Chains A and B, each alone.
Chain A
Amino acid sequence: MIAKNNETYFFYPNYEKILSIIEPKSKVLDLGCGTGELLQRLINEKNVLGRGVEIDEKNIIKCIAKGLSVFQGNIDEGLAEYHDKSYDYVILNKTLQVTHKPEFVIKEMLRVGKKAIVSFPNFGHYSIRLNLMFTGKMPKTEILPFEWYDTPNIRLLTIKDFKTFCTKYSFKILDCECLSRTGRKIKFCFLSNLFAQEGLFVISYKKI
């Protein structure tokens, strides 16, 4: 089960980035769409045909109140309800870290979508490294605020890890954005794994 508690979960603004990536009038499926903010902005500002998948009933009710079309489902169980290549983009925005089967989920995304947009908190950030080094305890940050025993974030990874993962499974990285706390792009790429709070990748299978 994937659960995100929106009261305590720290969101930082990467919506602008995603909005800038997605082409107008495309078909977008947002996995773990929460209360539908991103989806609504994509529909309003990019004129996309947007749909969502969400596990939490309370969040879905909020989506429905916004007029969004959302399917209640657990993305760890796959996307059986969706046909192959039926979407231009499948988004997994800051949800990868809570999936039980990340490899399966991403493969499903690339089955259903031509491209996948995946973002996650970067565990390689220097503050986390220092935190672990000096306290000897599992780091807690604004983005990852939970104790090790009650965190929904069971997949902690770094930007470097994700790149290795893509190579292993032959996912082509079409775009890699290393974002700071405020959603700004980190200028020096070689330092990104140290200074980026978030990694945002656009991937596809090698052959589109």
Chain B
Amino acid sequence: MNDNSGKMTDSVGIVKTKCFTFANPPDEMMLKCGKKLGPVTLAYETYGALSPEKDNAILIFHALTGDSHAAGYHSEKDSKPGWWDTMVGPGKAFDTNKYFIICSNYLGGCKGTTGPDDINPKTKKKYGLSFPVVTITDMVKVQKKLIDHLKIKKLLAVAGGSMGGMLTLEWLISYPDSTRSAIAIATTSRLSPQAIAFDHVGRNAIISDQNWHNGTYDLDSIPKEGLAIARMIGHITYLSDASMHKKFGRRLQSRDSFGYDISSEFQVENYLKYQGDKFVERFDANTYLYLTKAMDYFDLPSRYGSLTQAFKNISAKTLVISFTSDWLFPPYQSKEIVKAMMNLDKDVSYIEIKSSYGHDAFLLETNHLTKIVKSFLTNLKLNDGK
């Protein structure tokens, strides 16, 4: 099953994660919470070629549990490509024949970027809960360092979905002159109490796991159960009533009639269990705590007094996309963003894609997104220099 000759044709192929380290002591970076952190290592990948004028770079932000591996394969043995391979590659929405795509793992992450899972050089022990609480603002600040390091003065676009959309908005506000455009997909300027509630239950599942030990767990006894439950809750929020009907119905997994016991019988149960089990193999429990907390804290209207105030100085052409069945990041939240920008006479477009996939739509509605993103980026390219 490792014949990759077919899958490589519209793929960026074999890619390698790169690293960039900065904020070496005594020049640690100051975080929003008031604490200092350093050194900071950032894991990132790039696809396509940077133009000599350095004007074709697009920075992509991943979702909560994503990483810098957005496209292609790390080795020929990989069964799955990067998380947004449907959108990033030759001829795809983020066309690597035209654009230089950058994606980096967030601060606090567990995929190569400094996070609670890493060793604190001062104590030679894992950070765990001694890792400072990081915010979306901090995450964007770190990514700006990477863009500076790559000597890119102005990005062609920043783009991201879900939590990645939050970073997109944060970038627009923090560095208004450093991107020509932005694409914010299935996102919000602040989570609803409902979404915070789900995050809370997820975090609670982790910290209630007897292996969690205040975040000091060892690799051989991680808080598996808690993390798996957190993931299962997450997955429920990413789907919709309609998509669950379509995907599982009330079908039973491996029998024709009820067994009248309390074991898992329904297909939907099996799916959640599979997602939970798969997740604990690749994700760190403390990271889940830190990143969901960062999402919960993100609140542009409160920070600036109003959304209008928040977007006052942005200059990029912006495209906001939502999905009709997304109840985790509902369309009304996207509309609030657009409304604020429109009333400031900013260049903003809004599309609400009809989809039954729920929040997951931003990873699944590839056909719609490809057409939309392509026409948006093509126009920017046409208007070069204007």
- B343 in contact with A64 (CB, 8 Å): no
Known contacts A49-B345, A60-B349; is-contact A66 B379 (Cβ 8 Å): yes
Within 8 A of A (CB), among B315-354: 317, 319, 335, 338-339, 342-343, 345, 347-354
Interface string of A84-127 (1 = CB under 8 A from B): 00100000000000000000000000000000000000000000
- Which has the most chain B C-beta neighbours within 10 Å: A51, A66, A69? A69
- A60 in contact with B343 (CB, 8 Å): no
- Which has the most chain B C-beta neighbours within 10 Å: A27, A62, A71? A71
Expressed in whole angstroms, the Cα–Cα distance for A68 and B350 within the complex equals 11
Expressed in whole angstroms, the Cα–Cα distance for A63 and B347 within the complex equals 13
**Is the CB of B83 closer than 8 A to any CB of chain A?**
no
CB distance from B72 to the nearest CB of A (A): 27
**Is the CB of B378 closer than 8 A to any CB of chain A?**
yes
Expressed in whole angstroms, the Cα–Cα distance for A184 and B149 within the complex equals 61
Expressed in whole angstroms, the Cα–Cα distance for A85 and B343 within the complex equals 11
- Residue numbers in B under 8 Å from A67 (CB-CB): 317, 379-380, 382-383
Size of the chain B interface, CB-CB below 8 angstroms: 26
- Residue numbers in B under 8 Å from A130 (CB-CB): none
Within 8 A of B (CB), among A44-84: 49, 51, 57, 60-73, 80-83
- Closest-by-CB residue of B relative to A65 is B375
Interface string of B370-386 (1 = CB under 8 A from A): 01100110111011000
Expressed in whole angstroms, the Cα–Cα distance for A27 and B378 within the complex equals 26
- A51 in contact with B342 (CB, 8 Å): yes
Contact residue among A57, A65, A83 (Cβ-Cβ distance under 8 Å from B343): A83
Contact residue among B335, B339, B354, B376 (Cβ-Cβ distance under 8 Å from A64): B376
- B353 in contact with A57 (CB, 8 Å): yes
- A64 in contact with B352 (CB, 8 Å): no
- Residue numbers in A under 8 Å from B379 (CB-CB): 64-67
- A64 in contact with B349 (CB, 8 Å): yes
- Closest-by-CB residue of B relative to A66 is B379
Expressed in whole angstroms, the Cα–Cα distance for A158 and B43 within the complex equals 66
- Residue numbers in B under 8 Å from A72 (CB-CB): 350-352
- B351 in contact with A81 (CB, 8 Å): no
Expressed in whole angstroms, the Cα–Cα distance for A62 and B375 within the complex equals 8
Query: Looking at chain A, what size class is its interface with the partner chain?
Result: 20 to 34
- Closest-by-CB residue of A relative to B319 is A64
**Is the CB of B278 closer than 8 A to any CB of chain A?**
no
- A81 in contact with B375 (CB, 8 Å): no
Known contacts A49-B345, A64-B349; is-contact A81 B338 (Cβ 8 Å): yes
Within 8 A of A (CB), among B353-369: 353-354, 368
Expressed in whole angstroms, the Cα–Cα distance for A73 and B322 within the complex equals 12
- B342 in contact with A81 (CB, 8 Å): yes
- Residue numbers in B under 8 Å from A57 (CB-CB): 351, 353-354, 368, 372
Within 8 A of A (CB), among B118-145: none
- B339 in contact with A81 (CB, 8 Å): yes
- B351 in contact with A60 (CB, 8 Å): yes
- B349 in contact with A63 (CB, 8 Å): yes
- A71 in contact with B345 (CB, 8 Å): no
Within 8 A of B (CB), among A139-166: none
- A71 in contact with B349 (CB, 8 Å): yes
Expressed in whole angstroms, the Cα–Cα distance for A52 and B146 within the complex equals 37
- B319 in contact with A71 (CB, 8 Å): no
- Closest-by-CB residue of A relative to B322 is A72
Known contacts A64-B319, A64-B379; is-contact A69 B339 (Cβ 8 Å): no
Known contacts A60-B351, A72-B350, A83-B343; is-contact A65 B338 (Cβ 8 Å): no
- B350 in contact with A61 (CB, 8 Å): no
CB distance from A98 to the nearest CB of B (A): 19
CB distance from A96 to the nearest CB of B (A): 23
- Closest-by-CB residue of B relative to A71 is B350
- Closest-by-CB residue of A relative to B331 is A72
- A81 in contact with B347 (CB, 8 Å): no
- Residue numbers in B under 8 Å from A51 (CB-CB): 342
- Residue numbers in A under 8 Å from B354 (CB-CB): 57
- A64 in contact with B350 (CB, 8 Å): no
Contact residue among A27, A49, A64, A68 (Cβ-Cβ distance under 8 Å from B372): A64
- Residue numbers in A under 8 Å from B371 (CB-CB): 61
**Which 5 pairs between the two chains have the least Cβ-Cβ distance?**
A65-B375, A81-B339, A67-B379, A71-B350, A64-B375
21 contacts between A and B (CB under 8 A): A57-B353, A57-B354, A57-B372, A62-B375, A63-B349, A64-B349, A66-B379, A67-B379, A67-B380, A68-B349, A70-B350, A71-B338, A73-B350, A80-B339, A81-B335, A81-B342, A82-B339, A82-B342, A82-B343, A83-B343, A86-B343
* Other A-B pairs beyond A60-B349, A61-B371, A82-B339, 19, CB < 8 Å: A57-B351, A57-B368, A60-B351, A62-B375, A63-B349, A64-B319, A64-B372, A64-B375, A64-B379, A71-B338, A71-B348, A72-B350, A72-B351, A73-B350, A80-B339, A82-B342, A82-B343, A83-B343, A86-B343
Q: Which residues of B contact A (CB under 8 A)?
A: 317, 319, 335, 338-339, 342-343, 345, 347-354, 368, 371-372, 375-376, 378-380, 382-383
